[in-house]
Each structure stands twice: as structure tokens, then as C-alpha cells.
Chain A
Amino acid sequence: MKRGTIIIIVVLIAIAAAFVYYFTRPPKIVRPIKVGIIDCYSGPPAVFGKDALNGFKLALAEINKEGVLGAKIEFTTRDTKFKVDIGLSMAKELVMRENVDVLVGTISSGVALAVSDYVRREKVPFIVWISKSERITGQKGHRYVFSTGENTALAGKAGGVALAQKPYVKYWIAGDDYSYGHDIAHAAWRNLAKLKPGVKKMGESWWKVGEPDLIPYLTAIQAAKPDAVIFATGGRSMANVLKAAKTTGMAGKIPIWIHTATDHAVLKPLGPEAPEGVMGTMDYHFYYPDTPANKAFVKAFQDAYGEPPGFPAFHAYMTGHFIAEAFKKAGALDKEKFVDALEGLKIDAPVGEVEMRACDHQAVLPIFLGVTKKVPQYNFAISSDIVTLSGKDVMPTCEEIKKARGK
């Protein structure tokens, strides 16, 4: 063969290889993926907003080492101040001016539902990571809204399942007079009454959100002598309830169930003041499950922020990985393809494999039922004797979701 022919063949092969490479390489996107975060960074809920943001940052730090489709994920935050109107206008600003690809947030169920309604019209994916209203992925669910947090339906059923095994008959329900309080109380009672038809509700007490003085409520409940009490409360009211339960002596006399009572964000500041023996349900503990995956997550978080992650950090961390995996699966920076990819997607989370259920866009999360207990290794109470209820067992079925959505 002549030298010229060899050169031509080599050049042709090189051109062919370049073509093959060009058309078969992973698709690259030219700009970074933009995530808009709306959450509350002021007032009492700020502690949860901050924790979630740290969890999300940690996930991005891991993801951006390799990148997604050749790009990095960036984020912008906006403070909702726990107000529906502010939250909604911040979401609009992020969508219209910042052109975000995905919206995530928030702690307020009110904000989450308002933004969910907005993104349905704008066709922008919105992943809810803390708010617990079951209406977000239930009755008010649609194509563009997802939730990586547990909700009142899951938690209420977990509470109902737990209480139905106990011999208590006469119940008192008390809680914060707002959406979450009524939703969780209603869900727990609905499930308990279904599982154990003999139970009787003696009465209900509702106090305003942030009510500093709960002692009159607890002394009145004690005077009524119920077999057990369901408290429907969260955040700083939770600490007030636990303090009041301890000081009035209720905790030792009357069994109590509260969703998130076993949260370390609540138990840690209470220190030795935390009552023991309170039943609580929780979807995440930094000390449980004791698996390598959870330990690695807790260590990375602890190294980065100097404290163990709370449940908002866990949800937000998972959200970050869901976003990255969904874009990888979609193969393009396209909102519709992203939604399709996220449906039914499974990722490895600190608590094990978590699936984004396709029928309602609700993450299938296990719920941990435990009892507050003081242990020597921590200077605050933790959840003990933990029983894990699998997500499938405590979630509403796809048929129930369809019925709730009126289809």
C-alpha cells in the first residue's frame, strides 16, 4: 500500500471515530442546573429551614464532584417568613426571573399548597421536603408536585397502628390549632378508630400556635382522667408540651403519643428535662438505623456543620440526590422529561432504598416508632425500643389516593 492510502485510511478512521464519539457520548448541557429553594429562614421554624439547607448543600457537594450531564447543580434561596403570600411571590420570582429548573422547599404546608397550585399552571416541578400535610401528594396532588418528606397520612397511620396494640380506650386529643395539628390528630384518630372500633374520644383541646403556657390545658386534661392522650403538635410547641407534661407529672401517669416527639431537635435542648416513656413516631434519627449508609451520611454532615443532621437535613439530602438521579435518567434539561424520570425512581438513601411512588409522587419512607428514654451515651433523651413500620404498610394505597383526588 502506498503511504498516501494509509494516511487517508487513518484520517477516515479518525473522522469516523470522532463521529461515533460525538453521537454516542452522554448528552452535555451547556448551563448549570438551577434549583430554587423557598423555605423559612426567620422566626421559630428557622431551625428546620437551616437544617434542610445544610442537608441539601451536602448532597450537592457530593453530586457536583462528578456533575450531572456534564453540568453542576446550583441553587438560590428565598425566605418565605412562614407566610403564604410571601412564599408564593418568592416562588414566582424564582420561576420567572431566575428561570429555575426545579423548585424545592418548604416547611409551611400553607406555602407548599399555594406554590403547588402555582407550579401546576406553570408546569415547573416542585419537590416538597418538610411540610407534612397529606393533601400535598393526596387530595391536591398533580403531575408537577412531589414530596420527599413523610406526611400526616403516614404518620397518623403509624400512630394508629401503634396505639391500636395498646389497651387504652378513653382518649383525649390536644394540639396546635392550625392545619398540621388538626391533620395529624384527624389522621391518627381515623386510623385508630378503624383498627380498634371500641375506642372513645373524651374531648379535645386546641391552643393557639406558639401558646407559651400549656399548663392549664394539661392540668385540665389530667383532671378528666383519660387512658391516653394524643398530642398533635410540632416545633417549639412540642418542647412546651413535653416540658409541661414533665412538670405537671402527666408524663408518668398518662400514656402519651406525639408524632415527632422523639425528634432530637426537640429532645436535645430539653436535656435532662425531657420526660421518659413518651411514645413518638419519626421518619429519621441520626442514630438509627445503625447502618453504614446512615453512619456515612451522619459523619459527613457532622464534619461539615458540626452537629448531627435532623429530619429536614435527611429529607433535603435525599431531595438533592433525587434531582440528580432524575436528570441523569431523563438525559436532558427538560422539565417534562424530569417529571417522567422522577416517577418511580429509586435512590439509595441513608435509611435504605427509597422509592418515589409513581401514582402519587410521595416518597415511600419507613416510620420509626419509639419511646423517649435517657441513655448514658447522650446527655439528652433519645428514641428507644424502635419498631420500624415500612412505608408500604403505613401509606394510603394508590386507590385511596385516586379516590381522594376525585378521579
Chain B
Amino acid sequence: MELGQSIDLASLGSQLLVGLSRAMILFIVCAGLSFVLGVLRVPNVAHGSLYMIGAFSAYSVFALFGTSSTGFWLSLILAPFVVALVSLIAERALFCHLYQREHLMLLLFTFALMLIFGDLVKIIWGAEYRSVLAPSILRGSISIFGSSLPRYNLFLLIVGPLVAIGLWFFTSKTKIGKISRAAAVDREMVGVIGINVSWVFAGAFVLGCFLAGFGGALVAPTVSISLGMDHDIIIEAFLIVTIGGLGNIWGALVGSLIFGLTHSFGVLLWPQFAIVFPYAAVVIVLLLRPRGLLKSVW
């Protein structure tokens, strides 16, 4: 066994910020997954595909506007709406007929959808790797605690909390948000008092998928956009919402922080086996709290 280099405060600080910024992307994607799980009770395996479609759409918007920084900012705004539109069609055409089915059936259905979306992406965008260029203001890195931190990660550290505040405002201050929360707890009751549950569900589903698309658009400049992104994120996303508490958005935040930070500190501590740390954390959490850290709505 060979441990990493002597760990100093500077490298701890930079790993903390890098880990937090990764956690922000995970949070945005997982909050959407958790929201759909909570309100609709659908374990949406195709959530990762919507994240991938978000990234590819971001590329298309970016390319359409001549790969400029305007293109980048527009891609952040438009790509999630493309995904929202796709999910609205999927919801009205397919999902809305299936809510009463058992979970295993839904799991199989969304799995099939993931394969279909994967092939559609290949047909539309092809198999080549794509890349989005961050605007010059977010390129390069700055020096913090004596070690370098990419500016884009700092940007993520600003966007993540903004999304969290927005979600908090939506779920606890707006009427539709409150109805969604109520539907998550008791959907019959919400129907009984005369609310059109079908459209509440559609809205909740589209919002959840919008977040997946936004996550995909945000991650686009940091990775090579390619087929297989869906598989990469979906397992992590399910683990995160499970340890956070199924259906609980704040659980998704806690889970993402655990996942992101154990990963980045693991890299520093034991770089050869860093892969293990987030998963070990998941095992520990599930041993101690099998239903997740925060209250699960299931």
C-alpha cells in the first residue's frame, strides 16, 4: 500500500472546493431524480439519459451560436428546456398511463426508455465525442490556498446553492410546489379536494427532468460529451438519493455532498483506490440508517 503525498492544508483546501463543486452537479441531477421519486413514485432509470440529452443539446445550442460565449450562456438556458419538452412528451404519451403499476414494472419500463433514448442520441448526434467551450471568463484556474482551482468549478459553487434556494422557494412558498409535496404524501387526498393530479404529476415530472437537463448542460464544458454518460451518472444518482432518503430533495443534497467530498478527499488520501471511498461511505450510511439519512417519503 502506498499512501498519497504528505497532506498539507493547501491541498486539503483545494480538494474541499473541487469536491464541493462536483457535489453541486450531482445535487442538481439527484434533486430532480428524488423529486420524481417522491411525487410520482417512479424510479426513473431514464433520468441519466435526460442528463445526457441535456449535455448533447447544450452542445447543439453552443454550436448553433458559433461556439461563442453567448452560445454557452444560451446553452445553459435552452438545453434544460429541450429536455423538459422531451420529458413532457414522454410523460403525456407514456408515463401518465403507468403510475398505478407496481415499481418493478416501472423500473423495467424506464430501463427500456433509457435504451431507447441512448439509441436516439446516437441517431441524432452520432457517436463522435463533443465538447463545449466555457466562456473565457470561466476558463483557466485561479490560485486559492496556494493551489490552483479551475474557475469553472467556482462557478458551479455559485450555481449549486442558487438551485437549492430556488427549489426550496418552489416547494415551500409556491402553491404548485406545496401541492406537489402534498401529492407526495397522499395523492388520493390531493385528488379528493379537486386538484387535477394528472397535471400536477406532469409538472413535477417535467421539473425533475428539467433539473437533469440543467445538470447535463452544466457538466458539458468539463467533460467530453459522449454516449454512455447516462450509465455513468445513473448508478451514482440512485445511490445518492438512497442514502439521502428517497424522495427527499435535501437528502439528495446531503447524499451529493457525501459522495463528492469522500471522492475528492479519497483521491488525496489513497489515489490508487480512490474509487472505493464514495461507495464505502454509501455502505456505512446504509448500515447505520437503512432508510437514508433524512426522512424518506416512501
Q: Using known A-B contacts A46-B122, A203-B2, determine if residue A222 contacts B222 with beta carbons closer than 8 Å.
A: no
State whether A224 touches B224 (Cβ < 8 A): no
State whether B130 touches A236 (Cβ < 8 A): no
Shortest beta-carbon distance from B116 to chain A in Å: 13
Is B11 engaged at the interface, CB distance under 8 Å to the other chain?
yes
Is B227 engaged at the interface, CB distance under 8 Å to the other chain?
yes
Contact pattern, A 30-54, Cβ under 8 Å of B = 1, otherwise 0: 0000000000011110110110000
Is B18 engaged at the interface, CB distance under 8 Å to the other chain?
yes
Q: Which of A43, A213, A220 contacts B271 (CB 8 A)?
A: A220
Shortest beta-carbon distance from B47 to chain A in Å: 15
* A49, B268: Cα distance in complex, Å: 36
* A269, B220: Cα distance in complex, Å: 12
Contact pattern, B 172-183, Cβ under 8 Å of A = 1, otherwise 0: 000000000000
Kindly state the interface size class of chain B when it binds its partner. Answer: 35 or more
Shortest beta-carbon distance from A281 to chain B in Å: 20
**Residue among B151, B152, B274 having the largest count of chain A Cβ atoms under 10 Å:** B274
Is A208 engaged at the interface, CB distance under 8 Å to the other chain?
yes
State whether A215 touches B153 (Cβ < 8 A): yes
Is B256 engaged at the interface, CB distance under 8 Å to the other chain?
no
Is A271 engaged at the interface, CB distance under 8 Å to the other chain?
yes
Is A118 engaged at the interface, CB distance under 8 Å to the other chain?
no
Binds B, one of A68-76, A88-96, A243-251: A243-251
State whether B223 touches A212 (Cβ < 8 A): yes
Q: Which residues of B contact A217 (CB under 8 A)?
A: 267, 271, 274
Q: Which of B5, B222, B227 contacts A203 (CB 8 A)?
A: B5
Is B228 engaged at the interface, CB distance under 8 Å to the other chain?
yes
Q: Which residues of B contact A207 (CB under 8 A)?
A: 274-275
Task: Give the A interface residue count (CB, 8 A).
Answer: 45
Q: Using known A-B contacts A206-B275, A208-B275, determine if residue A271 contacts B226 with beta carbons closer than 8 Å.
A: no
Q: Which residues of B contact A177 (CB under 8 A)?
A: 275
State whether B267 touches A42 (Cβ < 8 A): no
Is A332 engaged at the interface, CB distance under 8 Å to the other chain?
no
Q: Using known A-B contacts A220-B11, A222-B148, A247-B152, determine if residue A204 contacts B128 with beta carbons closer than 8 Å.
A: no
Q: Which residues of B contact A220 (CB under 8 A)?
A: 4-5, 11, 15, 267-268, 271
Q: Which residues of A contact B274 (CB under 8 A)?
A: 205-207, 216-217
Tally of contacts, chain A with chain B, CB under 8 A: 149
State whether B129 touches A236 (Cβ < 8 A): yes
Main secondary structure of the interface of A (DSSP, over half): helix
Q: Using known A-B contacts A247-B152, A248-B150, determine if residue A46 contacts B10 with beta carbons closer than 8 Å.
A: no
Q: Using known A-B contacts A223-B5, A243-B223, determine if residue A269 contacts B122 with beta carbons closer than 8 Å.
A: no
* A236, B227: Cα distance in complex, Å: 10
Q: Which of A46, A249, A270 contacts B127 (CB 8 A)?
A: A46
**Residue among A206, A223, A239, A248 having the largest count of chain B Cβ atoms under 10 Å:** A223
Q: Which of A211, A222, A240 contacts B147 (CB 8 A)?
A: A222
Q: Using known A-B contacts A203-B4, A248-B141, A271-B67, determine if residue A213 contacts B129 with beta carbons closer than 8 Å.
A: no
**Residue among A204, A207, A213 having the largest count of chain B Cβ atoms under 10 Å:** A213
Shortest beta-carbon distance from A172 to chain B in Å: 9
* A49, B263: Cα distance in complex, Å: 33
Q: Using known A-B contacts A207-B274, A236-B224, A271-B133, determine if residue A223 contacts B127 with beta carbons closer than 8 Å.
A: no
Q: Which 10 A-B pairs have the closest CB atoms?
A: A239-B224, A205-B271, A46-B127, A223-B11, A216-B264, A224-B5, A247-B150, A44-B228, A47-B127, A269-B131
Cross-chain pairs A/B with CB under 8 angstroms, 16 sampled: A44-B228, A46-B122, A203-B271, A210-B228, A213-B223, A213-B263, A215-B22, A215-B150, A216-B19, A216-B274, A217-B271, A222-B147, A223-B147, A239-B131, A269-B129, A269-B131
Write the residues of chain B forming the contact surface with A, with a CB cutoff of 8 angstroms: 2, 4-5, 8, 10-11, 14-15, 18-19, 21-22, 67, 118-119, 122, 127-131, 133, 139-141, 147-153, 219, 222-224, 226-229, 231-233, 263-264, 267-268, 271-275
Write the residues of chain A forming the contact surface with B, with a CB cutoff of 8 angstroms: 41-44, 46-47, 49-50, 174, 177, 202-208, 210-213, 215-217, 219-224, 236, 239-240, 243-244, 247-249, 265-266, 269-273
